[in-house]
A and B are shown apart, each in its own frame.
Chain A
Amino acid sequence: KNQVEQSPQSLIILEGKNCTLQCNYTVSPFSNLRWYKQDTGRGPVSLTIMTFSENTKSNGRYTATLDADTKQSSLHITASQLSDSASYICVVSYGNNRLAFGKGNQVVVIP
């Protein structure tokens, strides 16, 4: 079983609509959690990082939340644009700088 589970696996949304992606993890001890955006054929790019003491953080139209007690994070995309079509990867840093990767949420925004 993967240590980082993301849902939904894939999502199709209309341009302008909002969506929320989920990330649940089991690894410990927790250091931080990053959300990456990976466009097709490109490498992942960091969107935001959440540390243990942070509950919410925004980066433009992206808002990440973290509940370290329940080991859950979410990434909310507001007013989606066509350029938001990508895979969103949840990466949890734990222990001695170890990383656990999720499989990603594949988002497709249609006009």
Chain B
Amino acid sequence: EADIYQTPRYLVIGTGKKITLECSQTMGHDKMYWYQQDPGMELHLIHYSYGVNSTEKGDLSSESTVSRIRTEHFPLTLESARPSHTSQYLCASSELDVDGSYEQYFGPGTRLTVT
């Protein structure tokens, strides 16, 4: 079991609310990621970070923002939630493996429903 945690696991919230999805890891990984996953669909990278004070947008455009003030913490914020934001959000971190590849360790995910 990877030491990467996400809270809340489930969130139902009304349109227009501000929300923050928490992600933390205790493995000391520099690289962290946020993915969005809809049922039956592939994971889409929305944000990533290579270390403290480093954040980049991923392949899928997202209205969310992220911050990386501490190595272990990578929260995602939506200033004004909309029904189109309803999805599963997965956080991951990675380290350089012995064979030169990066294995990603995923959190359990946050299932967000915006009504």
Contacts and interface: CB of A to CB of B under 8 A. Distances in A.
Interface of A: 2, 4, 9, 31-32, 34, 41-46, 49, 51, 89, 93, 97, 99, 101-104, 106
Contacts of B102: 93, 97
Interface of B: 2, 4, 40-45, 90-92, 97, 99, 101-104, 106-109, 111
Nearest to A46: B103
Given A32-B101, A49-B99, A51-B99, A101 B42 contact: yes
Nearest to A50: B101
Contact of B42 (A2, A42, A46, A51): A2
A93 B102 CA distance: 9
Given A9-B40, A89-B42, A106-B40, 16 more contacts: A4-B42, A31-B101, A34-B103, A42-B109, A43-B91, A43-B107, A43-B108, A44-B90, A49-B97, A93-B101, A93-B102, A101-B44, A102-B42, A103-B41, A103-B42, A104-B42
